[in-house]
């Protein structure tokens, strides 16, 4: 009887241990046991890179006392190179992607033949991190101090002025093409770079006439007087630069285009790991000090969200950008 009583008493404890052992066997219970790679599909210094480094620093301690998240830049093709690389990694939580509107929004819409992945079905959505408007920006030495002045100059010199983006088919490219169409079908030479930092360097050197770049990439240059912002692409002025008008105010009524950053993993990430990573990201975004750091860098922190709402957001954005491409008549790379 004593042996029977001991075995019965031990059964609940044994049952409690089984899920933990199963999770550990699947690599979840002790996760993370090695550094996590957070891939940024752009050069260092751009908006996505800024957000990634803040998130990596703050998410790691929320995943465990010894956890490390290392930012890895894999630039090219407007974010498609790094995104495609992540798509083929194991779905074990050790490779994540901080995607952008270019990588998982405009590239698939505008360059479907050059984007080998589905932005929704080929990844595991984890969390929306934040976003912000695009800025129509010119070099500090530019004679143009308003949107209409710049557009008039482009109109007067068809195909002779140049504009920079952080990649063909990206959010800046799609916004710029849409701007030219809204302004009456203007012509200007598109010069793609490999990231926002490279675009801003080109502007600072007056190598191009203008750009439409995300606020986080241009913020420091605007503050330092290296470039001049003419307008933002949101319907409301941004609190960081309240003196910069909107394109809606500047003669293009209803013009709106914003960018965003979303944390995803390769397709098939176990629900337990997805939940842990989403909880860590949510805790970071809920921290007022971190939210202020992101906002100061030009990335407006996202409202609380879940993996399910993140997926729904990506589906909606895919449809939205596809609609813009169709309405604008863009056939980039086709």
Please give the pLDDT value at position 292.
93
Q: Which residues contact 132 (CB under 8 A, 6 or more apart)?
A: 47, 214, 215, 216, 234, 238, 258, 259, 298, 299, 300
Look up the CATH number of domain 36-131+259-328.
3.40.190.150
Same fold, 36-131+259-328 and 133-232: yes
Average pLDDT value over all residues in the chain = 88
Superfamily of domain 133-232: Periplasmic binding protein-like II (3.40.190.10)
Task: Report angle CA 128, 129, 134 to the nearest 5 degrees.
Answer: 105
Question: Is the predicted pLDDT of residue 70 greater than 70, yes or no?
Answer: yes
pLDDT tens-digit readout, 50-69 = 899 999 999 999 999 999 99
Question: Is the predicted pLDDT of residue 25 greater than 80, yes or no?
Answer: no
Question: Is the predicted pLDDT of residue 308 greater than 80, yes or no?
Answer: yes
Distance from C-alpha of 13 to C-alpha of 158, rounded to nearest angstrom: 77
Q: What is the mean pLDDT of residues 65-77?
A: 93
pTM: 0.78
Q: Confidence band (pLDDT; 50, 70, 90) for 275?
A: very high
- pLDDT above 90 as % of the chain: 69
- Beta carbons within 10 angstroms of residue 204's beta carbon: 15
Among 25-34, 141-150, 230-239, 264-273, name the one with the lowest average pLDDT: 25-34
φ/ψ (deg, to 5) at 244: -85, 120
Q: Give domain limits for the chain.
A: 36-131+259-328, 133-232
- Beta carbons within 10 angstroms of residue 311's beta carbon: 18
Q: What is the mean pLDDT of residues 88-100?
A: 97
122 versus 324: which is more confidently predicted? Answer: 122
- Please say whether the dihedral angle defined by the alpha carbons of residues 239, 282, 261 and 61, taken in this order, is positive or negative: positive
Please give the pLDDT value at position 3.
35
Please give the pLDDT value at position 5.
34
Please give the pLDDT value at position 204.
93
Question: Is the predicted pLDDT of residue 2 greater than 80, yes or no?
Answer: no
Question: Is the predicted pLDDT of residue 26 greater than 50, yes or no?
Answer: no
Q: Confidence band (pLDDT; 50, 70, 90) for 318?
A: very high
Please give the pLDDT value at position 265.
98
Please give the pLDDT value at position 42.
87
166 versus 203: which is more confidently predicted? Answer: 203
Please give the pLDDT value at position 13.
39
10 versus 58: which is more confidently predicted? Answer: 58
**CB-CB contact of 172 with 166 (8 Å):** yes
Please give the pLDDT value at position 331.
67
- Cα dihedral value 175, 177, 180, 185, nearest 10: -150
């Amino acid at each position: 009887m004593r042996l029977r009583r001991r075995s019965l008493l031990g059964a609940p404890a044994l049952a409690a241990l089984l899920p933990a052992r199963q999770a550990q066997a699947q690599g979840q219970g002790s996760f993370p046991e090695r550094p996590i790679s957070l891939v940024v599909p752009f050069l260092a210094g751009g908006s996505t890179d800024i957000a990634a480094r803040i998130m990596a620093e703050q998410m790691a301690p929320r995943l465990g006392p010894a956890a490390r998240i290392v930012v890895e830049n894999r630039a090219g093709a407007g974010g498609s190179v790094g995104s495609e690389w992540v798509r083929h990694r194991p779905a074990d939580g050790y490779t994540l992607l901080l995607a952008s509107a270019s990588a998982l929004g405009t590239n698939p819409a505008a360059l479907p033949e050059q984007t080998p992945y589905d932005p929704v079905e080929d990844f595991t959505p984890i969390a929306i991190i934040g976003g912000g408007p695009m800025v129509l920006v010119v070099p500090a030495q530019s004679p143009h101090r308003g949107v209409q002045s710049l557009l008039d100059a482009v109109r007067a010199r068809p195909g002779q002025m140049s504009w920079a983006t952080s990649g063909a088919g990206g959010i800046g490219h799609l916004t710029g093409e849409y701007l030219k169409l809204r302004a009456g079908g203007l012509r200007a030479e598109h010069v793609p770079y490999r990231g926002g930092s490279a675009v801003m360097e080109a502007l600072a050197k007056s190598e191009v006439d203008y750009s439409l770049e995300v606020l986080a990439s241009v913020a420091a240059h605007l503050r330092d007087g290296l470039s001049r912002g003419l307008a933002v692409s949101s319907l409301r002025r941004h609190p960081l630069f309240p003196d910069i008008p909107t394109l809606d105010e500047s003669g293009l009524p209803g013009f709106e285009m914003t960018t965003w950053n979303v944390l995803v993993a390769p397709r098939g990430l176990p629900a337990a790991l997805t939940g842990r990573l989403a909880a860590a990201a949510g805790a970071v975004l809920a921290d007022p000090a971190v939210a202020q750091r992101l906002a100061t860098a030009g990335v407006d922190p996202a409202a609380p969200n879940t993996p399910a709402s993140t997926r729904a957001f990506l589906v909606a954005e895919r449809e939205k950008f596809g609609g813009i491409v169709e309405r604008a008549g863009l056939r980039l790379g086709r």
